[in-house]
Amino acid sequence: MTVDVVTFVMRSLDVYLLIFSRIIGIMTTVPVFSRNNIPAPLKVGLSMIISYIILPFIIQKTNLQVGTAEFLFLCMKEVLLGFFIGLCAQMVFNVFVGAGSNADIQIGLSMANVIDPSTGANNTLTGLLFNTFAYLLLFAADAHHLIIRAIVNSFNMVPVGQSQIYSQNLLPYIAKLVSYFMVASLLIVMPIIITLFLGNILLAFMAKVMPQMNVFIVGMPFKILVGFSIIYFTMPFIKTLIFGVFEQMIEFVYMFLRIV
C-alpha cells in the first residue's frame, strides 16, 4: 500500500512538473502575463496554481515511464512548446504596435520613440496608444479568460510529452501569421493613410497657389492635427478591429496546437 502511494505521488509530481514547464514557458511570451511590470514571483505562482488545478484532469491521460535524462528533455521540450504558443499570441497582439508605427510614419512622428515600461522596448507614440487601448479592451471584454482557456485546452490538444515542435505545416503557418500581421496593421490605420494622402495633395496644391507659404512649417502641425482627429473619429471602427484581432489571436494559437 505504501509503495503504491509513493509511486502515485512520484508520478503525479512528474506530470505536474511537465504541466508547469509548459505553462511557465507560455507566461514568458503570452500577452498580458509576459509584461515586465508583472513580478516574476506572481508569474511563477500563477503557473503553479494553474498546473495544480488541471493536474487531476491530465494525470489520468498520461502514462510516463521515462528515465531522468529523458524526463529533463521532456521538460525542456514543454518549455519550448509553451514559449512558441505564447509567441504566436504575442505576434498577433503586436498588430497594434505595427499599426501605430504605420500611423506615425504618415503623421510624421516616427522619430519620436518612447520606452514602453511594460516591455522595455522602443515604441512609437501612436503604437503605445493603440497598445494601451488594446490592453484596456482586452480586460474590459474578459478576453484574458480566453487566453487562460487556450492554455488549459492546449493539454487536451497536445498531451504532455507528446509534442512535435517541427511540422511540415509550420512554414505555411508562419507565412499566414506574418501576412495577417501586415494586413491587419495596415487595415487599422487605413483611414489615417488615406486622409493624410489627400492632405498631402492639398498641401501641394496650396504650395502652388501660395508660393510664399512655408509648407514644411505648416505641414507638420497640420498632419499631426488631422492624424489624431482621424484616430478619434474612427475609434469605434478601430475598437471593432481590435476585437477581431483578439479572436484571431486565439484562433492562431489553436491553429498552432493543431499542427504540432
Predicted local distance difference test score (pLDDT) of residue 224: 85
Note the pLDDT tens digit of each residue in 219-254. 888 888 888 898 889 888 888 888 889 899 999 999
Q: Compute the average pLDDT of residues 186-198.
A: 89
**What are the tens digits of pLDDT across the range 47-71?**
999 988 888 888 777 777 777 788 8
The per-residue pLDDT for 254 is 92
Express each pLDDT in 124-134 by its tens digit: 888 888 888 88
Residue 252 is predicted with a pLDDT of: 92
The reply to whether the predicted model has a pTM over 0.75 is: yes
What number of other Cβ atoms are within 10 A of residue 63's Cβ?
10
pLDDT mean over 7-30: 82
Mean pLDDT of 17-45: 88
pLDDT computed for residue 118 by the predictor = 66
Q: Per 3-state DSSP, what percentage of the chain is helix, strand, and coil (rounded to 5)?
A: 75, 0, 20
C-alpha–C-alpha distance, residues 2 and 57, integer Å: 24
Range with lowest mean pLDDT among 40-44, 147-151, 161-165, 198-202:
161-165
> Averaged over 199-221, what is the pLDDT?
81
The pLDDT of residue 23 is above 90 = yes
Q: Mean per-residue pLDDT for 165-190?
A: 87
- Output 109 or 2, whichever has higher pLDDT: 109
Q: Per-residue pLDDT for 6 more than 70?
A: no
* pLDDT score recorded for residue 4: 52
Q: Is 141 helix (H, G, I), strand (E, B) or coil?
A: coil
Flag whether pLDDT at 206 surpasses 60. yes
C-alpha distances (whole Å) from 63 to each of 27, 59, 94, 151, 160 are 26, 8, 38, 21, 10
- The CA-to-CA distance between both ends of the chain, in Å, stands at 39
pLDDT of residue 21: 92
CB under 8 Å to 119, separation ≥6 — which residues?
Answer: 35, 36
Q: Which pLDDT score, from 0 to 100, does residue 145 have?
A: 86
In the chain, % of residues over pLDDT 90? 13
Q: Is residue 147 within 8 Å of 250, Cβ to Cβ?
A: yes
The whole-number pLDDT of residue 10 equals: 61
pLDDT attached to residue 5: 47
